[in-house]
Amino acid sequence: MEVQVDDHREVLVSELLRHATQAVSLEIVPDVAEWAKANHVTVVGNPIATSLPVRGQLPRAVVVRAKLSEGDLSGVLGRLDFSGHWGETREMRKDLVMFLRHLVLHELAHLENNWGQSREDDCDEWAFARLAA
Ligand SMILES: [Zn+2]
């Protein structure tokens, strides 16, 4: 099964608007690493999603790969299971939109809190708190 993120653009944009304190754009791109290279920003590896602070005239951005595979989903869900979010991941396995909302909120958490890559668990908690709100 493959997820087409663009099919859910509206709900994801409204999720970001609801929880962002400043403008943030949602970029749905074929490949995050290639997009980063083309836009002269540094991204480690080739993640399914990332976030970027303000760049010159451009607003902050949450960048998500357009197509997500079963393996991409399992990677994220596995990390969440490992940190004890069994109940949430059970829901997310049944509800792909919830998975995607959490994914963009996780990236927004990096921006809103200035949290680096060492704060993955904090970003997950921040996102779950807002999903439930
Ligand atoms: Zn993160």
pLDDT tens figures, 51-61: 999 988 889 99
- Please, which residues bridge with residue 53 across strands? none
Residues around ion ligand 1, judged by CB within 5 A, are 120, 123
Total structural domains within the chain: 1
- Whole-prediction pTM value? 0.95
Å from CA of 50 to ligand 1 middle:
7
* N-terminal to C-terminal alpha carbon distance within the chain: 29
Per-residue pLDDT of 1-35, as tens digits, reads 789 999 999 999 999 999 999 999 999 999 999 99
Integer angstrom CA distances of residue 20 from 6, 17, 39, 42, 116: 20, 5, 23, 23, 17
Q: Kindly give the distance from the C-alpha atom of residue 94 to the centroid of ligand 1, in angstroms, as a whole number.
A: 22
Residue 91 structural domain? 2-132
pLDDT over threshold 90, residue 80 = yes
